[in-house]
Amino acid sequence: MARIAEHCGRAYEGELVSSDDADADMARERLVMHVAECGEGEIRIPFHVGDDRSRTWVLTINGADSLTLKHDHRHEDGSEDAVTQYGGTTAEVGTATRQEFPADDFSKALFEREGLNVSVANTWAMEIHDETFAYELRRPESADGRFFRVEFDLSEEVETPPPVWGSDGAN
């Protein structure tokens, strides 16, 4: 959290480094993360995919030994998507550079309710190194073997994108 918070207020461009056919459309878009809000125990990181401002990663500290990652998904009018607030809490301590978040019970129930049963095996990860921030999704135990990873170049700041949908100041 502290290493990410060092980038508060800054935005960075990234690229898809995984090669799943399901992500072909996203791979053609400009990908920008914005470490927008760094409060006491919480960091909000909007993830812009082209003109789509629907996604925010929300990291929260849970005491001294765990972190929670949630995905806040919104429609253009600011209302919540049917599939939102999913994520998980670290099951292991992790390292100063990588944390993994297996899907929690809320997320599993949400995925099942929405017919996304394959997603109950999701594990998300975030990594931060000197010049790279990475967001990752894996579900190796599922039949589809899903792997998604985007890496952002922390050595070159880009212009701050517009606010995410549903936030103050969003149009």
**What does the domain layout of the chain look like in residue ranges?**
2-158
CATH of 2-158, one of 2.60.60, 2.40.30, 3.30.360, 2.40.128: 2.40.128
pLDDT digits (tens, 9 = 90+) for 79-132: 999 999 999 999 888 788 999 999 999 999 999 999 999 999 999 999 999 899
pLDDT of residue 168: 73
H-helix or E-strand containing 25? helix 24-27
Other C-beta atoms closer than 10 Å to the C-beta of 38 total 19
